[in-house]
Structure 1
């Protein structure tokens, strides 16, 4: 328990250092199947690493540049949007207003008995906050991309170092087989999930465009990112799309088509596409997934919630391939029992 508390405290206070390192390793694992495929056509690891990470960085910058202006406009229009939503849902909000009025009366009654001094904390200016946020995001992005480039360009260096660290041949074979198995499963999972989420975002973009929703591409990008949050992401996306659809469409019935389509697409993806492509081998315990998202969201905010499930998959595969932690791997698995670690006597997988 002391070790767990110490790790959580370290992760909380060292977020700015640990987060880009975690993102760098996850990005390297995601791109490693592509790097190995490029090696088969005789493209060196260094060249493929620079090309893949550069393409990823340009894609991230394009997404940020394409959505930042729209999100800034939406943030300025939030009060007007809220008033319009309340007006269109006035019949449903009467009960809420009554409860709010009663709560206000209770606060005024309790405040009449005595005065409570107010402490006003001066917040930093908008320009300072924006500059700090931009600097933090930029530093995280740079460290992530540089670390991923170094990891991908190193090729088999870490595997050679691992083999040299074990004195016996059986230990070398088991360690190498375990590491290869972990790297293969996790990289395939991360790459597959990334492709699935990107396809989901593209489908939602086309659907909302057909409905006439303005800035539908922003919602496609948001859906792709939110889909990294199982269970929670689909609900958040449905509510946000529904709120903006009520603002931009004249009739409530037509506006509800947007969240309905969002829910149908995410439900079809979650029930059929992901289980079919990912398979039962990496099925997860739903309680463990939910708790992981909550804990990492509390520790690191939105970035922590987004990397929670990939991080849990990495830890689960490691436990399944490391015999002393095999019981933990079984607990983190879904309805199916986790497979036993690979036997060291089996031939090593070819990379």
Structure 2
């Protein structure tokens, strides 16, 4: 039978392919389910951050110390013994650093108002409008203080709230730190247990070999990266601390520790360290030209570390593009605050390495990677001429 023509006589109407529509609906439902799953994960990470934050920190710490455990295992040291020693050394180092830095940091926090006033006085000869703005702000603050009713009892209630909140925060921080170190100890002491569990999850020998190779490569690359970055940041903080001590900066150990810690935030951390050192140097030295030597030294150290040391030691393959870094820092700082910002780049590297080992996720790893070679666009006419030649 011939197909009936349409009213316009232009041809015949084709019925839609039901299989194509079914495939399109499946893709749409899959995309919707993936989006819902991602939103659920974000909500879970936000509302259950008291649980997920120390757990992820423990995994990152265990991955950082894994190369040392692996090295000691090759020399006959049991995993339990090496893991216990490394975790104890980490606890001692953290406690010692906190004790040594607590005094200078508390003094800086208590002297914040005087530091701001001294900085304003030093910059007054360069920027008169800034001084005028500070005077207006002080006048507004005085008007606000005089407008308060004298009979309102606010100080005692606020102080009680502050004390209870501080006590709760200290208890929560202590619990989280305990979870981090205890879980890290168990992860490091487990040895090859997780590899054995992964092998047992697959039936065929080829699948077991492929899964074991992928997991081992991911764990090896991530652990090597985290340990290397931790050592580089520690070295950067040591060099900056010694250099600022030689220049006569007050509390150089604080700025060295800040540089080492904040360097886990690419670009942003170096800028914060530079601004802090500049402010303290301006109020600590009489000559502005001499005071600028301290931030200049910090800037030089950051440039050498970022442009030469880290690319040479870590390699270019694990570098992340700047856009992804800023998005990750903004997202994790919104999710978990300052601790989340510090974990943003290590977690981004974990995601990139994981995606690079799976064909279906390779486009995500390629998007996160930094661009090292410039793409030169050629004229299509030139390509045609070359082909004809």
Q: Report 1:263-342 matches (<5 A).
A: 263-335=299-371
- Normalised to the residue count of structure 1, the TM-score between the two structures is 0.88
Q: What is the TM-score normalised by the length of structure 2?
A: 0.79
Other-structure match for 2:4: none
Larger RCO, structures 1/2 (Cα 8 Å, 6+ apart)? 1
> Which residue in the other structure is 2:248 paired with?
212
Secondary structure in 1 aligned to 2:371? coil
Point out the more displaced range, 128-137 or 302-311.
128-137
User: 1:173 and 2:191 equivalent?
Assistant: no
Number of the residue aligned with 1:128: 164
Deviations 1:162-209 (A, max 9, x none): 000011111111110000000010000000000000000000011000
> Could you tell me which residue of structure 2 aligns to residue 12 of structure 1?
46
- Residue aligning to 1:38: 72
Whose Rg is larger? 2
For the residues of structure 1 that align with 2:133 and 2:99, how far apart are their CA atoms? 42
The 1:37/1:90 distance shift into structure 2, 3 A limit, reads same
Match status 1:234 vs 2:234 = no
Query: Which residue number in structure 2 is paired with residue 69 of structure 1?
Result: 103
For residues 80-128 of structure 1, what are the alpha-carbon distances to aligned partners after superposition, in whole Å with 9 as ceiling and x for unaligned? 111111001113442235567889999xxxxxxxxxxxxx996454433
Q: Which string of whole-angstrom CA distances, capped at 9 and with x for unpartnered residues, describes residues 46-92 of structure 1?
A: 00000011101110111111111111111111111111110011134
* Alignment partners' CA distance in 2, 1:304 and 1:263: 25
Alignment-derived partner of residue 344 in structure 1: none
Q: What is the total number of aligned residue pairs between the two structures?
A: 324
Distance 1:214 1:96, change over 3 A: closer
Helix, strand or coil at the partner of 1:281? coil
Q: Aligned equivalents of 2:36 and 2:277: distance in 1?
A: 43
Post-superposition shift, 1:41?
Answer: 1.1
5+ residue gaps, structure 2, are 1-34, 141-153, 374-389
CA RMSD of aligned residues (A): 2.1
- 3-state secondary structure, aligned to 1:91: coil
Residue 203 and residue 105 in structure 1: after superposition, are their counterparts in 2 closer, same or farther (change >3 A)?
Answer: closer
Please tell me whether residue 192 in structure 1 is matched to residue 199 in structure 2.
Answer: no
CA, structure 1 residues 148+18, in 2 after alignment: closer, same or farther (shift >3 Å)?
Answer: same
Note if contact 2:124-2:130 (Cα within 8 Å) is conserved in structure 1: no
**What is the SS of the residue equivalent to 1:282?**
coil
**Structure 1: runs of 5+ lacking an equivalent:** 107-119, 338-351
Call closer, same or farther: CA 1:225–1:183 in 2, change over 3 Å. Answer: same
- Distance in 1 between the 2:211 and 2:168 partners? 43
Supply the distance in 2 between the matched residues of 1:67 and 1:137 (Cα, whole angstroms).
Answer: 17
